[in-house]
A and B are shown apart, each in its own frame.
Chain A
Amino acid sequence: DAKTTQPTSMDCAEGRAANLPCNHSTISGNEYVYWYRQIHSQGPQYIIHGLKNNETNEMASLIITEDRKSSTLILPHATLRDTAVYYCIVRTQGGSEKLVFGKGTKLTVNP
C-alpha cells in the first residue's frame, strides 16, 4: 500500500469549511484513498473513501486530483465536534489485509 503524507495539525473556524490535504504520490491505479477520524479517546471512525471520482456522503466530500497523487477531505461546515485526528490511508481493494495508519492531521475547530 502506498505511503501518505499529511500536515501534523490544522485549525478551522466553526461554521467554515475544513479542507484536509493528503499527499499519496506513489499511489497505484488500483489503490483506494480512505479517510478515518479519531475523536479524543474513542475508536477511529470511517468517513469516506474513493478511487478516482470525487465522492460525497453525509459526513464529508473527498476530492481526488486527476493524477491521483493527492486528495482533499472537505468538511463543509465544521463544528466543534469535528475536532479530531484525521487519517488518510491508501489501500488496494482486496489486496493487503494489513490496515496501517500514519500519524494523521490533528484538526482543531475553534469557536
Chain B
Amino acid sequence: NAGVTQTPKFRILKIGQSMTLQCTQDMNHNYMYWYRQDPGMGLKLIYYSVGAGITDKGEVPNGYNVSRSTTEDFPLRLELAAPSQTSVYFCASKRRNGDTEAFFGQGTRLTVV
C-alpha cells in the first residue's frame, strides 16, 4: 500500500493562476479530507468527503473547490491563487466505520507570489 499520495510536493504559483492539488489513496477509504497549515499554526479543515459524489465544506473553504468522482481521488482546486493561500496542504483519508485513525499524505508546499 502506498497510503495517501499527494502531488506535487512543491509548487510556486503567480497571483491569479489556477492549479489542482492531487490526492489519491489506495486503502479504499470512504472519508477524505483537505487541510491547510500556515507557518507555525495548526491544521485548518478546508473540505471533506464521506464518499464518491459527496463533498462538504470545512472551516476555511473560500477560494477552493473539490470533487470526488472516485473513492480513490480527492483533488483540490485553486481557481484564482492569492498570496493568502500560501500554505502547506495536507490530504488525509479514513475508513468510514469504527473508531479508526486517519492517514495523512506528506503535504504540498504552495507559494503564491
| Given known contacts A93-B98, A97-B48, A45 and B42 CB-to-CB distance under 8 angstroms | no
> Which residues in B have some Cβ–Cβ distance to A below 8 Å?
4, 31, 33, 35, 41-43, 45, 48, 50, 56, 58-59, 88, 90, 92, 94, 96-99, 101-107
Question: Is B45 touching A41 in the complex (CB atoms < 8 A)?
Answer: no
Q: Which residue of B lies closest to A44 (CB)?
A: B104
Complex CA–CA separation, A102 to B97 (angstroms): 23
Whole-angstrom distance from the CB of B41 to the nearest CB of chain A? 8
Chain A residues with a Cβ closer than 8 Å to the other chain, count: 24
| Residues of chain A in range 33-77 having any CB-CB distance to chain B below 8 Å | 34, 36, 38, 41-46, 49, 51
1/0 per residue, CB under 8 A from B, across A4-39: the answer is 000000000000000000000000000010101010
Whole-angstrom distance from the CB of B89 to the nearest CB of chain A? 10
Question: Is B59 touching A100 in the complex (CB atoms < 8 A)?
Answer: yes
Question: Is B102 touching A46 in the complex (CB atoms < 8 A)?
Answer: yes
Question: Is B92 touching A43 in the complex (CB atoms < 8 A)?
Answer: yes
**Could you list 30 A-B pairs, sorted by A, with CB under 8 Å?**
A32-B99, A34-B101, A36-B101, A41-B88, A42-B106, A42-B107, A43-B4, A43-B92, A43-B104, A43-B105, A43-B107, A44-B43, A44-B90, A44-B102, A44-B104, A45-B104, A46-B101, A46-B102, A51-B99, A87-B42, A93-B99, A97-B56, A98-B45, A98-B48, A98-B58, A99-B45, A100-B58, A103-B41, A103-B42, A104-B42
